[in-house]
Amino acid sequence: MNAERILIRYGEISTKGKNRNRFISQLEKNIKNTLSDLKPVRFDSGRDRMHIELLDASETEVVISRLKPVFGIQSFSPVVKATKDLDDVKQKAVELVNSVRDKGDLFKVKARRADKKYPLDTNELNLEIGSHVLRNVDGLTVEMKKPDIELVVEVREEAVYLSAETIQGAGGMPIGTGNKASLMLSGGLDSPVAGYQMMKRGVEIEAIHFFSPPFTSDKAKEKVKELTAILSGFSGSIKLHIVPFTKIQQTIHQQVPENYTMTSTRRMMLRIADEIRKKTGSRAIITGESLGQVASQTLESMEAINAVSSTPILRPLIAADKTEIIDIAKEIGTYETSILPYEDCCTIFTPAAPKTKPKLEKVEFYESFVDFEVLIKEAVEQTESEKLTVGYRAQEQKFEELF
């Protein structure tokens, strides 16, 4: 059913004390962003909830679908506007209940009166509207404690507002309120999920991918672009930095003993990510590491790798099981793309028996024979950056005319 307004409940933001206004205006901005191609909307934001007024009620459905992934929204309800004439309120009430009739049979009216001059009081409103709905919609039973359909009627100075449906929001914090961090995005299952988890906490992300042609194919690069595009659905757009990594990887393989190449590779990646982070003004680095999942993700490995940087490294999946990660990946839509079988730079140079307990002194010693600083600088300089949005499907668009 078309709605004139949408009521948005913040959830966690409303507990944020002095910063609340900043959170709310960021949420307004993010909502505006995600609705930017639709008719303009008007905001009326209070301490615990916000109303958006739609100029075109026929856009209700698409607005609802756009609001669902926006972080910082606990839940929201489409609201129908009626005049203060009781007959109009009753008629709108019946229409609204009919539109959510499939939710169940247990029904309740909850009237509220902000306009105390309204001739009917709350109890009278409940009775009048409730009995009218019961007479005009088949099969409803009144249930006060756990109704399937709760019709909320709010009488205000200017009009009466009705809603009957609460839609679950994405929760979390508005993206942007948590500053910015750089996500190391490999193309596997974990890193997109890690990025999503941090975005959910309000962090804006930029992604960094290491590309080793010809050892990794363009397909692998394309896959990472697609993953970035999927993630950008939560924030509007994400910048992807693609680092040419072949030379460094080859140098490591010439210089470092095989069982330490993986450790050394990770250290170089982290150093490069840190440089890019500085350039882009990020405050932290995000990885998809999960403790014990592979050789580089033991505590000993992390110690040896992490030693190259004092930047905070956020590992939202550190205690997650693979099955949990897969569940989230499916939910956010990255799973199908992540499992495409293209080699990335992590898999292609994997030694047969990597050290699970590398020693920091050893890896530092092996690396000391080459001036990696120069190579790192070069890689950072040659990094290509691209802004991706959810509509990224350049190739397919070109092909569409053929069909």
Partner 1 sequence: MLYLDNSATTKPDPAVLESYIKVTEQYYGNPSSLHGMGETAAQLVEMARKSAASYLNGSGKVIFTSGGTESNNLAIKGFAQSLRSRGNHLITTNIEHPSVLEVFRHLEKEGFAVTYLPVDEKGVISIDQLRSALKKETILVSIMHVNNEIGSVQPIGEAGSVIKNQSRAIFHVDAVQSFGKLPIDPDKAGIDALTLSAHKFHGLKGTGLIYLNTDQQLVSQMLGGSQEFGLRSGTVHTAGTVAMAKAMRLATEQLEKHRKHLIEGRDLLRAFFETREEAEVLSAEDQAPHILAVSVPLLKGEVVVHALEKKGVYLSTSSACSSRMTKQSHVLKALGLSDDVIKGAFRISLSHDVSLNDLEKFKKIWEEVIPPLLEGVKRNER
Is 121 a binding residue for partner 1 by CB under 8 A? The answer is: no
Residue 36 or 397: the one with the smaller Cβ distance to partner 1 is 397
Work out whether 341 is an interface residue with partner 1 (CB under 8 A).
Answer: no
Nearest-approach distance from CB 266 to partner 1, in angstroms: 28
Rule CB under 8 A: is residue 402 a binding residue for partner 1?
Answer: yes
Site for partner 1 in 178-217 (CB under 8 A): 217
CB hemisphere CA count around 211 (13 angstroms): 24
Question: Least distance (Å) from partner 1 to the CB of residue 402?
Answer: 5
| Residue in this structure with the two tokens 């691209």, named with its chain if needed | 386
Would you say 230 or 269 has its CB closer to partner 1? 230
Please state the closest distance from residue 342 (CB atom) to partner 1, in A.
10
Of 369 and 399, which has the nearer Cβ to partner 1? 399
Nearer to partner 1 (CB atom), residue 5 or residue 221: 221
The CA distance from 4 to 60, in Å, is 8
The reply to whether 396 sits near partner 1 by the rule CB under 8 A is yes
Q: What is the nearest approach in angstroms of partner 1 to the Cβ of residue 218? A: 6
Cα 122 from Cα 142, distance rounded (Å): 17
Residue number, 122 or 217, with CB nearest to partner 1: 217
Q: What is the DSSP string of 77-141?
A: EEEEEE-S-HHHHHHHHHHHHHHTGGG-SEEEEEEEES-TTSSS-HHHHHHHHHHHHHHHSTT-E
Looking at the Cβ atoms of 119 and 341, the one nearer to partner 1 is: 341
Residue 115 or 343 with smaller CB distance to partner 1? 343
To the nearest whole angstrom, how small is the minimum distance from the Cβ of residue 388 to partner 1? 18
Q: What tokens were used for 150?
A: 């709760």
Q: Which is nearer to partner 1, 365 or 399 (CB)?
A: 399
Q: Please, what is the minimum distance in Å from the beta carbon of residue 396 to partner 1? A: 7
Binders of partner 1 among 129-158, rule CB under 8 A? none
Count of residues engaged in binding partner 1, rule: CB under 8 A: 8
Burial (CB < 10 A; 0-12, 13-18, 19+), residue 356, is middle
- Rounded to 10 deg, the angle between the 299-306 and 258-280 helix axes is 50
Instruction: Write out the DSSP string of 280-327.
Output: HT-SEEE----TTSSGGGSHHHHHHHHTT--S-EE-TTTT--HHHHHH
Q: How far is the CB of 61 from partner 1 (least distance, A)?
A: 21
Give 218 or 378: the residue with its C-beta nearer to partner 1. Answer: 218
* CA separation for the pair 39, 57 (Å, rounded): 10
Do residues 15 and 62 lie in contact, with contact meaning Cβ atoms separated by under 8 Å?
A: no
Does position 403 bind partner 1 by CB under 8 A?
yes
Judge contact between 201 and 234, C-beta under 8 A: no
Is 399 an interacting residue with respect to partner 1 (CB under 8 A)?
A: yes
Q: Please state the closest distance from residue 387 (CB atom) to partner 1, in A.
A: 23
Question: Contacts with partner 1 in 212-231 (CB under 8 A)?
Answer: 217-219
Contact 210, 243 (CB under 8 A): yes
Give ∠ CA 356-358-364 in degrees, rounded to 5. 155
Q: How far is the CB of 65 from partner 1 (least distance, A)?
A: 20
Give the end-to-end CA distance of the chain in Å, rounded to a whole number.
35
For residue 74, what are its two tokens? 């606990």
> Could you tell me which stretch among 55-63, 79-87, 359-367, 391-399 binds partner 1 (CB under 8 A)?
391-399
DSSP output for 192-217 = HHHHHHHHHBT-EEEEEEEE-TTTS-
- Interface residues with partner 1 (CB under 8 A) are 217-219, 395-396, 399, 402-403
